[in-house]
């Protein structure tokens, strides 16, 4: 089992209870607004105060994968597409949705 927390103190904490493993990711100057784990429990996304969405692989102890960048506004929310929609459409990938301060929802693939 995994446990993830983020904070206004700019630190993402990832715990694996069985392995007694903890990894901390420090985002230096940017607060974490929200964290979202994919329904397949393989990817983690969080939105930072600087309008970036870092993507991590949970399978590899929170290995950094990529940054998604919203150029206009701060991102308040990130959410992975529900697994049942992916299964219904017979796809092996999921979309990530984000909502910014100006209420625009973006779909990332």
Structural domain that includes position 64: 32-108
**Residue 52 falls inside a structural domain:** yes
Domain count of the fold of the chain: 1
Q: Looking only at Cα atoms, what is the longest distance across the chain?
A: 41
Q: Please state, in angstroms and rounded to a whole number, the distance separating the CA atoms of residues 96 and 36.
A: 9
Q: What is the pLDDT of residue 24?
A: 84
Q: Is residue 62 part of a domain?
A: yes
Domain annotation covers residue 80: yes
- Structure pTM? 0.78
pLDDT tens digits along 6-47: 878 888 888 888 878 788 888 888 888 899 988 888 889 998
């Amino acid at each position: 089992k995994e446990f993830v927390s983020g904070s206004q103190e700019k630190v993402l904490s990832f715990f694996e209870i069985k392995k007694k493993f903890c990894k901390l990711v420090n985002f230096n100057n940017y607060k974490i607004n929200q964290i979202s784990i994919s329904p397949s429990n393989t990817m983690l996304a969080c939105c930072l105060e600087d309008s970036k969405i870092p993507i991590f692989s949970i399978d590899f102890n929170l290995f950094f994968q990529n940054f998604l960048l919203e150029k206009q506004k701060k991102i308040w929310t990130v959410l992975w597409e529900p697994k049942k929609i992916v299964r219904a459409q017979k796809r092996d990938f999921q979309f990530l949705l984000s909502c910014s301060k100006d209420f625009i929802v973006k779909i990332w693939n």
